[in-house]
Amino acid sequence: MVFNSYTFIVFFILIFLLHNLPFSWRTKKINLLIASYIFYAAWNPPFILLLWLSTVVDFFVGRALYTQENPHKKKLLLVISLIGNLGMLCFFKYGTFLLENFVSLCHLVGLNYHPATPSIILPAGISFYTFTTLCYTIDMYKKRSEPVKSMLDFSLFVTFFPHLVAGPIVRPPQLVPQFETERRANSKQIIDGLLLLTLGLFMKVVLADSMLADTADAVFDAKEALPMLDAWVGVFAFSGQIFLDFAGYSTCAIGVAMCLGFVLPQNFNYPYAAIGFSDFWRRWHITLSSWLRDYLYIPLGGNRHGKARTYFALMMTMLLGGLWHGANWTFVAWGGLHGIYLWVEKFFKDRKKIDNPKGIVDENSNWVGFCYAFLTFMLVNVTWVFFRSDTFAKSWQMLQSMSGYVCSDKALLTTLAIAKVAVIIPLILVFHWMMRNTKVLEVAYKISWIWLGIVWSFLLLAIIFAQESGSSFIYFQF
């Protein structure tokens, strides 16, 4: 089930009504849990068994980790959790990828090995809920927080439908305490939540799908070299599409949860206004960035063991972060390129003794800062080539077309397609820059109800007229 479908509208209205009926808090939580399983089962019902297995195992293993004093038994319990979670993730997400690379390695050394091609279906959201449960058991191992007392609360923490399929990636202290006492949205939360839901759907349905998706698909699906202009327009289109699609989902998720009285963490903070790449990763997919920082970068040494160790930890974190996004070497290259960017940035920061990229400029309102942000945006667009391309050959063809080294004189895109991108992408950049230190709801509070109503009505009408079918969000496949 997707947020941008009529089925979800009916589903959400029913859940909202049930949640506001005079039932006991336990009954309401059971209703939410059942609703979450129904939401997930709309994709493929048998995969609910994976959710149950992950939930049950990590609930009991997490409790045992917290109380176990024997260090050897404690490590064994952690290994059980890691094998259970990462084992499922590796099989379903990376099984075919690992087999293909093993076969290629066999052929490289002269072995004629041709196994049957496995037919493995990737469960929706497995990357997200695996990280959600993993952070719980690791926290229990390190005693960062107390174990969840109720299986019902833990099950709801893992499967709460707004964040289940594509995040935000929540941690126990962020959500579990909200299940311990009754939650019911007040009128302000409902209005705010519906506004965020409308905005998220507008970003996804109107801008990402109707305005940019076709252009991005046409360029990246091209079989031959493209004109330089078409190549850049296609990359810009995908850059806008993936932001609007994924940030749109996160905005919908936060809005839906808010309508029910719950608060989910922010996942995007105007990333295309980032000044530098460490700033970019503080603004893009924030919950994943913080997860990788706390559970990968810091355990690898972080910045505590000298520069060489720091550079190693940075690169490994970005490479594994790239692999998390998809079972393809192009994703690893995408992460590696971001790692190189971070290396270069850190090198100059260390030389200039600057604590963060924003120290390069005086304030975010000046033109120098905007130029740094624009440079960051352009370099990020180069990385999107690897993220969107299926093969390195396709990536190389695209980069050659973008550089003008190998390009075609035969135009692919229409004037209208180019015009859409030429309008939307600059508007995104300007909007991000103007909003980089504020929030949408804060701006909404400052304008009159008349203007807010006009804008809101425009968003709704645009969604209604643009809606043709409930296409999946891009990150569902990751």
Q: Which residues contact 443 (CB under 8 A, 6 or more apart)?
A: 435
Residue 25: predicted pLDDT: 93
Determine the 3-state secondary structure of 186 from DSSP: coil
Distance CA 42, CA 8 (A): 10
Each of the 478 residues of the chain gets a pLDDT tens digit; together they read: 788 888 889 999 999 999 999 999 999 999 999 999 999 888 788 888 888 888 998 999 989 988 888 888 888 998 888 888 888 888 888 888 888 888 888 888 888 877 877 777 777 778 888 888 898 999 998 888 888 989 999 999 999 999 988 879 999 999 999 998 888 899 999 999 999 999 999 999 999 999 999 999 999 998 888 889 999 999 999 999 999 999 999 999 999 999 999 999 999 999 999 999 999 999 999 999 999 999 999 998 888 878 888 899 999 999 999 998 888 999 999 999 999 999 998 888 877 765 555 544 544 457 788 889 999 999 999 999 999 999 999 999 999 999 887 777 788 889 999 999 999 999 999 999 988 888 888 888 888 889 888 989 999 899 888 865 556 666 555 5
CB atoms inside a 10 Å sphere around CB 109: 7
Q: Can 325 be counted among the known catalytic residues?
A: yes
Residue 271: predicted pLDDT: 95
Distance CA 342, CA 336 (A): 10
The answer to whether 169 and 426 have CB atoms below 8 angstroms apart is no
CB atoms inside a 10 Å sphere around CB 69: 6
Distance CA 239, CA 233 (A): 10
Q: How far is CA 282 from CA 170, 275, 285, 290, 308, in A?
A: 16, 11, 8, 8, 23
Rounding to the nearest 10 degrees, give the CA dihedral for residues 48, 54, 57, 60.
-100
Q: Residue ranges per domain, the chain? A: 21-183, 191-477
What does pTM read for this prediction? 0.89
Which of these, 277, 375, 272, lies nearest to 317 by C-alpha position? Answer: 277
Residue 363: predicted pLDDT: 45
- Give me the catalytic one of 163, 325, 338, 432: 325
Which of these, 32, 179, 48, 36, lies nearest to 126 by C-alpha position? Answer: 48
Instruction: Return the CA Rg of the chain.
Output: 23
